Every structure is written in structure tokens, then in C-alpha cells.
Structure 1
Amino acid sequence: MASYDVIIIGGGPGGYVCAIRCAQLGLKTACVEGRETLGGTCLNVGCIPSKALLHASHQLHEAEHNFEKMGLSAGKVKVDWKQMLAYKDDVIGQNTKGIEFLFKKNKVDWLKGWGSIPEAGKVKVGDEIHEAKAIVIASGSEPSPVPGADVTVDEKVVVTSTGALALPKVPKRMVVIGAGVIGLEMGSVYARLGAEVEVIEFLDAITPGMDSEVQKTFQRILSKQGLKFTMGAAVQKVETKGGKATVTYKLRKDDSEHTTEADVVLCATGRRPYTDGLGLEGVGVELTERGQVKTDDHWQTTAKGIYAIGDAIEGPMLAHKAEDEGMAVAEVIAGKHGHVNYGVIPGVIYTAPEVASVGKTEDQLKKDGVAYKVGKFSFMGNGRAKAVFQGEGFVKLLADKETDRVLGCHIIGPGAGDLIHEICVGMEFGASAEDIALTCHAHPTFSEAVREAALACGDGAIHA
């Protein structure tokens, strides 16, 4: 029986970051992970492989639509799907091996296998039981089933995001159930690769929770790229026969029933915490009604000495949120002060164009009765964006009407996922829109659009 200061259950972004930080703070640390590679869903079958395919398919789009405009002639570009998947797998391998190296560098023990908590202060992995002064649950999440529908996932014809990353060939027709981040990212990949993609969404707007103006603009752009949207539709069932699928759904507006055919159906209706087999009930760890692990302000569960972070607890299911919590709980366990500013956690959709947001939406500010002002700037006024055929979209900055303090920002356009962090840093320091407007931005860069939006909160943008 080995004894540790901390054992983390789960080697995803939350778990491995927590383990490394614990070790850096002088704690004897182990991380339990049953996969053959570290990195959890994100590095193995989520964030990283999907970004590889998004990048590859975007390069195809550039070759097919923009190369000739720039004087580049290379003939018709062919898609070698097997090689594209091999490229994706190589990217996964580089990243997962990198985490394994970091574990060795920081002297974190990897306990290979699936973990459970048989009693307080103990973690069972396989047939071995290890002692720990503190245990951190970082078990992540799994795809949610389609609510209220008869759908059986086989990861061949009816797939989750995991299966969608490893299809044997590009389907001629794909139906995506759910217009959230995962559905739109993977849908856009296959649309660029030549598939006919239909997105079926229960609500009347895509990307639930995002700024409504961004939602409308984003859907319009994706529609121009070839994605078809069926909104306000409740999927009833998915039937498979002969390697094909039939999706039956009802329109909420009139309760009429419809069917649509597909070679592949991607179920992308969100994710749910994964806590099966951990033995939480037996050690007094309570769950919420939604199956999330209950924690206090210091990520302590209802059982002393057991903490939880990431997708397993409340909050947005984002890798970087889990990482922040992983570092924070490590600080707490080490007797320091851990902190996460939940008001400044950005969200990004890695389509082309990218979509990014942080802070409050205009809809939330209206609902809360907050007096605010809007600074908006179109990428059509940005020289760099026009030079690379990415003038669609805008930066929208929201600031307090009286104090000018930045309350939120919403970007749809080139590099949005990187641009948003200027606002994140600004919000951490309590910046005003004027602070951003008075900061010199290099020319020509996409970031100038952020400055212009900040200027629009005051006397006006220059290039609008």
C-alpha cells in the first residue's frame, strides 16, 4: 500500500494540471487514469483532435476558394481521409506523450487503472489500495443521451463526438442533433469535406446562452457555408437499417412529424458528469439533481478530505475551467489560497470564423436591468481581415454606462479565440473600455478590431 499527500482521480485537463501543481507545491502526488494515455477526453477524443480536423478542413476550404484569388494555382486538391486521420492521431500522440513527460519531470506517479474510493482517505486502483490525505475527483464527463428520444449510439452510424472523430470515410449526408459547440464544430468539418450537413436543434437559436446577436450572425454565416438548420425540432427517434439512419422529429410550432435520412447521425446534445463506479455515495459525497458533485467555495465535497473539480461539478464544461480549478484546489490542499474568477472564463467555438465570448451578454444585462453601452466594430473595417478573406463578423464590447468598466465581450471573426484574452486580462484588472481604447495596438492586426470596438464605446471608432 502506497501513501500519498494527494491522489487525483482522472488524468484530463483538470486532473493532470492539479497533479502537476500539487507536486510543484511539494506534495507527494499520484494521478489515477484508466486510459492508455493521459489527457482525458480533451486530448484523446475531444478538444485537440477536433481542432486538428478543423484546421485541416479549413486549409481545404482555403485551397478550394481563396488560393486562385491570391495567385496560387495547384490544381484540384484531393482529400486523403486516412492521412487526415493519421495527422489527427499524431497530434493526439504528441500531446498525450507531453503530459506523460511532465508527470515524470514533476515526479507525479501515474496509477494506471480505474479508481474508486472504498473509504475515506483511500483510493482503490485495480486490486491495490492507496492511502491519501486528500483525494480530488476529476473524473470528467461523458456525452449526454438525446433527451426524450429513442436513440441507440453504436459509434458507427449513430455516433457521439468520439465516433465522429474516427469515421471510416466522409459521409455523403450527416445529421447533427444539437446546435451547440460540439455539433457545429464537427458539422462544419464534414461540411467542408463535402458532406451535406443538417443540424436539428430543439431551441429556436443555435449556441444556447450566447449573445443573441452573435447567434443570428453565426447561423447566417454557417448557412452560407452549406449547413442546413432545422430549428425548434424535437427528435423522437433514430432508426438504423443497412448502414443508414432515419431521424424522426416533431416541429414544436405545430407538432408536425417529419423524417430525414443520413449516413451518419451525430448526437451532440451536451455532456453529463461521469462519476460511475467511484463509490461516492458510500463515503458520503453528495450529488446534485443533475448528477454533479456538490462542492463548497473551496471545492470541498460533503465528505471531508475529498475535493472535486472540472466537468464533475457545477459550471461550464470547459477544459480551461477545469485547469483553473485544478490549480486552485492544489493551492487549497497545500494550505494556500486558491481562487477562480468564474466571471472571467472565456468560451470559444473553433469554426471559421471563430466565435468567442467572456462576461455578460447584452441579453443578460437587459434582464438584470444594468445600464450599459455597446461598442461594436465590423471586421470589414479591419485591413488585415480583409486581406485574408475574413471580413465577416464583428467585435462587440459591453461596458457599464456610468463607470465605463468592461462587463463583457463577444467576437465572431478571425482569431476570436485568441483576441478574447485581451478582454479577459482587462476584466481581471477592472479595465474600462477607455483603457483598451487608449492602448496602442499593432497595425495591421486583427486585434485592432478590439480597440475599435472600445473606441466605439466612447467618441466613436476610427475606421467604421
Structure 2
Amino acid sequence: MAQYDVIIIGSGPGGYVCAIRCAQLGLKTAVVEGRDTLGGTCLNVGCIPSKALLHATHQLHEAEHNFAKMGLMAEAPKVDWAKMLSYKDDVIGQNTKGIEFLFKKNKIDWLKGWGSIPEPGKVKVGDEVHEAKHIVIASGSEAAEVPGAEIEVDEKIVVTSTGALALEKIPGSLVVVGGGVIGLELGSVYARLGVDVTVIEFLDAITPGQDAEIAKTFQRILKKQGVKFVLGAAVQKVAVEGGRAKIDYKLRKDDSAHALEADVVLCATGRKPFTEGLGLDKLGVELTQRGQVAVDAHYKTSVSGIYAIGDVIQGPMLAHKAEDEGMALAERLAGQAGHVNYDVIPGVIYTHPEVASVGLTEELCKEQGRTYKVGKFSFMGNGRAKAVFAGEGMVKLLADAETDRILGCHVIGPMAGDLIHEVCVAMEFGAAAEDLARTCHAHPTFSEAMREAALACGDGAIHA
């Protein structure tokens, strides 16, 4: 029976980062993973492969729409779908092998197989039982069912994000159920490939929880890119007939019934914690009403010696949130004071343009009764953005009306997912909008738009 300081169940971003940090801090560490490769959903069938396809199809869009404008005269490229998928798989392989290398470098044992917890302090993998002082549940999440709908997923015609990343051929039409991050990113991939894409969303706006002004701007831009939207609609049933899918839905405003047909339907209405087979019921590990593992502020479950992080606990299901929790927990297990600032966790949608946000939205400021000011700057006023046909979008900075302290930021535009971190760092240091406005930014860069938004919180932007 092998003995460890820490055994982590799951090798996704939360699990593998926690493992590496534990090992760095001198803890004998093992990770349980049943997949043939490390990295969890994110690296295998989530974040990384979707970004590969987003990148490939963005290059296609550039070639089709912008090359000639720059004097690059050539025939429009042809899409070799099999080769594009092969490129995606190669990207996955590079990343998962990279995690395997890091495990070896840090002397972390990979316990291959699916794990369960027969009793506190023990983890069973196959026929072997391993002992650990601390057990960390980092088993991630899986695609959630569409609430109240009659849908049978076959991952060929009716797919989740996993199936959408590996379709046998490019479909003629695609219906996306759910107007959130996953649905819009993958819908964007196929729209660029010439697919007729329709998004059906239960609410009256896309990207629930996003700043309302940014969400409206985002939807307008996606419409210009050819994506269609049916909002305020509840999907009732998806049935496969004659090799195609029929989608029945009702509009919430008048309860009227409607139907659509498509070659493929992508169900993207969110994810749910994956804890199947761990034996949590028998252990008495407390769950929330939403099926999440209940933990305290230090990631302890209701059973001594068992912890949980990432998608299985409360909070946004984001890889970087899981990573931060993994590092914080590792430091706590090593006797240090790990901490996660949940007020400064950015969110990014990797379409083109990208959408990124951190902190409070205008809606939350009003809900909390805060007095605030808004600084906005359009990318049309940014020289670098105009030079690369990326002038659509804006930066929106929120600051406290009295103290000028930055409360949040919302960006839709080029490199938004990278630009947002300037504000994240500023918020970590309690910076004011004026601090950002007085920081010299290189010219010409996209980041100048961030400074201009900060200036707009004061006497006004320069290039507006």
C-alpha cells in the first residue's frame, strides 16, 4: 500500500496545478487520472482544442475578408477539415505531454485509473488502495442537460462541446442551445467555416451575468458575422429524423410553439460537477442543492482530511479559478497561508473580437447601491486596432464615484483576454482609475484603450 502526503483525484487545471505546487513545497504527491492523457477536460476536450479551432478559423476569416485590403492577393484558402482536426489534436498532444513532463520533473506519481474514496485517508484505483494524509477532489465537471427538454445526445448529430470538437464533417447548419461562452465560441468556429448558425437562448440576452451594454454590443457584432439569435426561447425537444435534427421550442413571451431543423445541434447550457464513482454518499461528504461539494473557506469538506477545488465546488467554472484554488490549497496543506481573491477573477470569451471582464458590472453596482462612474473608450479611436481591422468594440471601466477605486472593467475588442489583466493587477493593489490613467502606455498598442477608458473616468479621454 503506497503512502502519500497528498492524493489528488483529477488532473485538470485545478488538480495538476495543485499537485505541482504540493510537490514544490515538499509534499509527496500523487494524482489519479483515468484518461489516457493528463490535463482533464480543459486540455483534452475543452479550453485548448477549442482555442486551436478558433485560431484556425480566424485565420480563414482574415484570408477571406482582410488579406486583399492589405494588398495580399491570393485565392481564398480551401478548408481541409481532417487536417484542421489533426492540427487541433497535435495542439492537445503537445499540452498533455507537457503536463506529463512536469509530473516527472516534480516527482509526482500518476495513478492511472478511475479513483474512489472507500474511507477517509484512502483512495482506491483499480484493485490498489493508496493512503494519504490529505485527499483532494478535483474531478471537474461534465456537460449539463438542457433543463426541462427531451434531448438524447449521441455526439454525432446531437452533441455536447466534446462532440462539436470532433464532427466527422463540417455541417451545413448548426443550432446552438445556449447563448453562453461555450456555445458562442463553438458557434463562432462553425460560422467562420460557412455554416448557418442559430443560437437559441432561454433568457432575453446572451452571456448571462455579463455587463448588459457589452452583451448587446457583442450580440450585434456576432449578428454582423452571420450568427442568428432566437432569444427568450425554451427548447422542448430535439429529435433526430432522417439524419437531421428537429428542434421544438416555445417563445416565453407568448408561449407560441416553433421548430427548426439543422444538421447538428450543440447543447451548451452549462456544466455540472462530476463526482460519479467517488463514493461521496457513503463517506457522508456534504453536497449543496446544486450537486456541488460543500467546502469551507479553506476547501475542507464535511469529512476530515478530504478537500475539494475547481468545478466541483461553488463559483465560476473557470480553469484559472481552479488553478488558483489548487495553489492556495497546496500552500495551506504545507502550513502556509494560501488565498484566492474571488473579487478579481477575470472571465474571457475567445471569439473575435474577444470579450473579457473582471469585477462588478453596472447592474451589480446598482443592485448594491454603489455610486459609481463610467469611463468608456471605443477601439475606433485606437490607432493599432484600426490598422488591423479590429476597431469594433470598447473598453468600459467602472470606478467608485467618491474614492475613484476601480470596481470592474469590461472589454470587447482585440486581445481583450490579455488586456483585462492590467486591470486585474490594478484591482489587486487597490488602484484608482487615475493611477491607471497616469501610467504611461506604449504607442501604438491595444492597451492604450485601457488608459483612455481610465482617463474617461476623469477629465476625459484624449482620442475620443
Fold in common (TM above 0.5): yes
Match of 2:253 in 1: 253
| 2:150 counterpart SS class | coil
Q: Matches of 1:148 and 1:165 in 2, distance apart?
A: 25
| 2:355 counterpart SS class | strand
Match of 1:300 in 2: 300
| 1:135 counterpart SS class | strand
Q: Matches of 1:431 and 1:47 in 2, distance apart?
A: 31
Match of 2:115 in 1: 115
Match of 1:147 in 2: 147
| 1:136 counterpart SS class | strand
Letter of the structure 1 residue corresponding to residue 305 of structure 2: G
Encode CA deviations 1:30-73: one digit per residue, 9 max, x unaligned.
00000000000000000000000000000000000000000001
Encode CA deviations 1:113-169: one digit per residue, 9 max, x unaligned.
000000010000000000000000000000000100000000000000000000011
Encode CA deviations 1:4-47: one digit per residue, 9 max, x unaligned.
00000000000000000000000000000000000000000000
Q: Matches of 1:170 and 1:416 in 2, distance apart?
A: 29
Asked if 1:168 corresponds to 2:189, the answer is no
Q: Matches of 1:90 and 1:415 in 2, distance apart?
A: 24
Match of 1:351 in 2: 351
| 1:50 counterpart SS class | helix
| 1:358 counterpart SS class | strand
Letter of the structure 2 residue corresponding to residue 431 of structure 1: A
Match of 1:423 in 2: 423
Q: Matches of 2:40 and 2:157 in 1, distance apart?
A: 24
Letter of the structure 2 residue corresponding to residue 258 of structure 1: H
Match of 2:94 in 1: 94
Q: Matches of 2:239 and 2:169 in 1, distance apart?
A: 21
Q: Matches of 1:74 and 1:306 in 2, distance apart?
A: 60
Asked if 1:281 corresponds to 2:281, the answer is yes
Q: How does 1:1-40 map to 2 (within 5 A)?
A: 1-40=1-40
Asked if 1:133 corresponds to 2:133, the answer is yes
Match of 1:433 in 2: 433
Match of 1:391 in 2: 391
Q: Matches of 2:351 and 2:76 in 1, distance apart?
A: 23
Encode CA deviations 1:322-355: one digit per residue, 9 max, x unaligned.
0000000001111111100000000000000000
Cα displacement (A) at 1:77: 1.1
Cα displacement (A) at 1:281: 1.7
Q: Matches of 2:123 and 2:242 in 1, distance apart?
A: 46
Match of 1:332 in 2: 332
Match of 1:363 in 2: 363
Encode CA deviations 1:381-428: one digit per residue, 9 max, x unaligned.
000000000000000000000000000000000000000000000000
Asked if 1:208 corresponds to 2:226, the answer is no
Match of 2:75 in 1: 75
Q: What TM-score results when the alignment is normalised by the length of structure 1?
A: 1.00
Q: Matches of 2:92 and 2:76 in 1, distance apart?
A: 29
Q: Matches of 1:8 and 1:202 in 2, distance apart?
A: 37
Q: Matches of 1:232 and 1:52 in 2, distance apart?
A: 31
Match of 1:379 in 2: 379
Encode CA deviations 1:189-239: one digit per residue, 9 max, x unaligned.
000001000000000000000000001000000000000000000000001
Q: What TM-score results when the alignment is normalised by the length of structure 2?
A: 1.00
Asked if 1:46 corresponds to 2:39, the answer is no
Letter of the structure 1 residue corresponding to residue 14 of structure 2: G
Cα displacement (A) at 1:376: 0.3
| 2:445 counterpart SS class | coil
Q: Matches of 2:334 and 2:249 in 1, distance apart?
A: 52
| 1:418 counterpart SS class | helix
| 2:439 counterpart SS class | coil
Letter of the structure 2 residue corresponding to residue 365 of structure 1: C
Identity %: 79
Encode CA deviations 1:262-309: one digit per residue, 9 max, x unaligned.
000000000000001100122221100000000000000000110000
Q: Matches of 1:143 and 1:76 in 2, distance apart?
A: 36
Q: Matches of 1:298 and 1:182 in 2, distance apart?
A: 30
Letter of the structure 1 residue corresponding to residue 107 of structure 2: K
Q: Matches of 1:41 and 1:20 in 2, distance apart?
A: 18
Asked if 1:409 corresponds to 2:422, the answer is no
| 1:78 counterpart SS class | coil
Match of 2:459 in 1: 459
Q: Matches of 1:171 and 1:335 in 2, distance apart?
A: 54
- Structure 2 residue ranges without an equivalent (≥5): none
| 1:19 counterpart SS class | helix
Q: Matches of 1:443 and 1:39 in 2, distance apart?
A: 38
Q: Matches of 1:332 and 1:116 in 2, distance apart?
A: 24
- Structure 1 residue ranges without an equivalent (≥5): none
Encode CA deviations 1:80-117: one digit per residue, 9 max, x unaligned.
10110000000000000000000000000000000000
Q: Matches of 1:250 and 1:283 in 2, distance apart?
A: 43
Q: Matches of 1:76 and 1:276 in 2, distance apart?
A: 48
Match of 2:159 in 1: 159
Match of 1:195 in 2: 195
Cα displacement (A) at 1:243: 1.4
Letter of the structure 2 residue corresponding to residue 99 of structure 1: I
Asked if 1:241 corresponds to 2:241, the answer is yes
Q: CA RMSD in A?
A: 0.4
State the aligned residue count. Answer: 464
Letter of the structure 2 residue corresponding to residue 92 of structure 1: I
